[in-house]
Chain A
Amino acid sequence: MFDTLLPYLLAGISVGGQYAMIAVGYTLVYGILRLINFAHGDIFTAAGFFMVYLAAAMPPALAIPLVIILTVALGFTVERVAYKPLRSAPRMSIMISAIGVSYLLQNLMWYLTGGLARQYPVLPGLGDSIQIGSASTKVVTLVTPVLTVALVVALVMLIKRTKIGMAMRAVSVDFETAQLMGIKINNVISFTFIIGSAMAAIGSLLYFTNYTAVTPTIGAMPGLKAFVAAVFGGIGSIPGAMIGALIIGICENLIKAAGLTMFSDAFTFALLIIVLLVRPTGLFGEKTTEKV
C-alpha cells in the first residue's frame, strides 16, 4: 500500500512546494493591495520561457540568476504600469486590470514563441534521478520542500525583523495611515511584487524540471491553485500559504493515485469553496469586522 502511494506522496510534496513558491506572491500582494493578481501565473510562465531562451545561449549558472532578475523586472513593470495608476480606483477596476494584464501576457508569449510548446532545459543536478525506497524520482523532488521551507522562513524573518518588513506590515493594515506615517507605499508595494516575482521565478525552475513543456497558458492552472492555497492558508499569511500549498499538492496527487485524474483540478476548487464557506479567513487568517 505504502509502496504504491509513495511516488504520489513524493510528487505531491514536490508540486505542493512549487505551488507554495507561487502562492507566496499571491498572499503578499493580496495582503497589501487586497488584489487577486491574476497575472501572477503568467509571470510564472514567463519565467519558464526566459529559462528556455537563456539556457540556449549561456551556461545555467549564469542563466538562473538572469531568469530571476528578468522575472522580477517583469513583475515590477506590471505593477507600475497596470496597478499603480489605479491606486484610488474601485477594487473591481484593479482586478479587471489584472485580468487584462494576464490576457496581454498570454497573447504576447504566444506571439513571441509561436504558440508551440517549448522544451525546458535540463538543469544539472535537479533533473537527475534518484531512488527513494521503492520509488524512483528526480532530485528536484527532494530539493523543493527543503528550499521552500528555507525561503519561507527567510521571508517571515524579513517581514518580522527588518524595517522594510515592518513597513509592509504597516501598509497591509492601513494604507493611508501608513502613508501619513511617512512610509513610501509605492516602494513597499514594488518591493512586494519583487519578492513575489522572485519566488515565482525560483518556483518555475523547480516546476518545469518536473513538467518540461512550457506553453503560453501553462501558468494559469498552477497560478489558480496557488491562489487557492493562499486562501486556504489564510490570505496574507506566508506560512499559511505554504501549508495550504503542500496540502493541495498532496491531495491532488492522492486523487490521481485513486484514478480520478479528471478531478484533481476540480478538487482544488471544491476545497476553495468549502474553505470560503466554512472559514473564509482560512487556516491562519485573521478576522476583520466591517465598519458601518
Chain B
Amino acid sequence: MKKKGNLRLILSLAVVALLYGAAVLVEHTSGSKSMVVTVLQKGAVYALIAVSMNLLNGFTGLFSLGQAGFMLIGAYSYAILTIPMAKRAAVYQYYDGGIVQFTIGLLPALLVAGVMAALFAALIGMPVLRLKGDYLAIATLGFAEIIRAFVQWDAIGPLTNGSNLLKTYPTLKTAMPGNTLLFTFLVVGVCIGLILLLINSTYGRAFKAIRDDEIAAEAMGINLFRHKQMAFVISSFFAGIGGALLAMYQGSLQANGFKSAMTYEILLIVVIGGMGSVSGSILASFLFIACSEWWLRFLDAETMIGNFQVPLLAPGFRMVAFSIVIMVVVLFFRKGIMGDRELWELGSRRQAKGGGRNK
C-alpha cells in the first residue's frame, strides 16, 4: 500500500515538473508578451489565492470573505519594501519620499508580505472567529473594507502613499525577464505544496472535522478557536503572498483594486473548482483567467460576418456570458469540477481516500 502511495507521489511530481518545463518552453518560444504567458502568469497567481481561500472555506468550513483585504496587505507590504531608493522620491511625491527609507530583496519581501497578512489575520481572527456562519462572512468582508479605507488614509500616506499609485517596484517582467513563468510557478508551486502537506497532516484532518461537524469536533477534544485561528492565519499568509505576486504581475498598485468584488471572484473560482479540492481550485483558476482574459474576448468585439452584424456581441457581453456560466455551475453543478476530490485521486475508488494503511 505504502509503495503505491509513493509511486503516485513520484508520478505527480513528474507531471508537475513536465508542466513547468512546458511553461518555460512556451515563454521562450512565444515571448513574454503573448496571451498564453499572460494567462499562465495570472492564472498561477489566482491559483495560489484560490487555494488559500479554499483552505478556509472548503476545508475548514469557515465562510470568510476577507481575502481581498489580506491580498492588499501582502501587495502593499511587498511594494513598500521593494521600491528602489532612487525611485522613492518620485513615487511618494506627495509625501516627501515616504518614511520607509530602505529596501529588502525580492524573496524576503514576499515572505514579509505573507507574514504581515498573517499578523493582521491573527489580530482580526481573535474577535471574528467567535462568530458563526454568515456573521463571520460579513465581519471579514467588513474588515477587508476597513483595511482598504485605512491604507488610503492621508495620515499614513508616508507609509502607503495614500490613494496614489505604488509603482516602480520589481515586477515579474523587470525582475525575472524571460523567466516570469518559471518564477511564478515555482513560488506558487512551493506555497501550494506547503498547503497540501498541511491539509494531509493531522491538523488538516482536524480542519475537516470542524467543517463536517463543529460540535462533534469539539467533543473529540479539538480546540475550535485555536484550529480556526490556525486555518485563518495560514490562509491569510498565502493570500498575502498571492497579493504580492499579483502586484508583481500588475506592475502598479492601488488600494481600490482590492474591492470585495475581487473576493467574490475568487470565491466563485473556488466553487467552480470544488470546495475542498486543491486541484479543483488550480484548474478553475486557469480556466477562469483564460476565459476572462483570452478565450471569451471575441464576445466583447462587435463582429460582422459579411453584412450580418452578429447579435449581442458588444463590450461587456463576455462578462455576462461568463457570469451566466458561473450561475449554472452554482445552481446545477454544486460540486464544481472536482467536488472534494483531487486530480491525483481520480484513479482510486471513491471510498479509498487516505486511510486504511493498517496492514
Contacts and interface: CB of A to CB of B under 8 A. Distances in A.
Direct contact of A and B (CB under 8 A): yes
Interface of A: 34-36, 81-82, 85-86, 89, 91-93, 95-97, 99-104, 106-108, 110-112, 114-115, 217, 220, 224, 227-228, 231, 262-263, 265-266, 268-270, 272-273, 276-277, 280, 292
A95 B137 contact: yes
B215 interface: yes
18 contacts: A35-B134, A81-B331, A86-B331, A91-B134, A100-B268, A100-B327, A103-B261, A103-B326, A104-B320, A217-B261, A224-B141, A228-B138, A263-B149, A265-B149, A269-B145, A272-B138, A276-B128, A277-B131
A123 to B, nearest CB: 28
B85 interface: no
Interface string B215-243: 10000000000000000000000000000
Q: Is the interface of B mostly helix, strand, loop or mixed?
A: helix
B327 A82 contact: yes
B319 A110 contact: yes
A262 B334 contact: no
B326 A104 contact: yes
Interface stretch (B41-49, B111-119, B150-158, B165-173): B150-158
A227 to B, nearest CB: 7
B135 interface: yes
A151 B71 CA distance: 42
Given A111-B314, A115-B315, A263 B134 contact: no
How large, as a class, is the contact surface on chain B?
A: 35 or more
A273 B143 contact: yes
User: Which of A103, A114, A231 neighbours the largest number of chain B CB atoms within 10 Å of its CB?
Assistant: A103
B142 A262 contact: no
Contacts of A34: 134
Given A97-B330, A263-B149, A272 B142 contact: yes
Contacts of A115: 315-316
A93 B330 contact: yes
Nearest to A113: B316
Contacts of B316: 107, 110-112, 114-115
B189 to A, nearest CB: 28
A85 B271 CA distance: 17
Interface in B185-234: 215
Nearest to A105: B323
Contacts of B142: 228, 268-270, 272-273
A164 B57 CA distance: 37
Contacts of A114: 315-316
Contact of A272 (B57, B63, B139): B139
Nearest to B142: A269
B317 interface: yes
A26 to B, nearest CB: 11
Given A110-B319, A111-B319, A276-B135, A96 B267 contact: yes
Nearest to B63: A92
B310 interface: no
A112 to B, nearest CB: 8
Given A35-B134, A276-B131, 6 more contacts: A97-B331, A107-B316, A111-B317, A269-B142, A272-B138, A277-B131
A265 B260 CA distance: 13
B322 interface: yes
B105 interface: no
A36 B136 CA distance: 12
Contacts of A272: 138-139, 142
The list of the 8 closest CB pairs from A to B, nearest first, reads A269-B142, A111-B316, A266-B149, A104-B323, A107-B319, A266-B146, A100-B330, A107-B323
A270 B154 CA distance: 19
B143 A103 contact: no
A100 B323 contact: yes
A32 to B, nearest CB: 14
A280 B131 contact: yes
A265 B139 contact: no
B10 interface: no
Contacts of B127: 273, 277
Nearest to A271: B142
B264 interface: yes
Given A262-B149, A280-B131, A227 B138 contact: yes
A103 B264 contact: yes
B330 A96 contact: yes
Given A263-B153, A276-B131, A36 B138 contact: yes
Given A96-B271, A273-B128, A277-B127, A102 B264 contact: yes
A100 B143 CA distance: 21
B324 interface: yes
B133 interface: yes
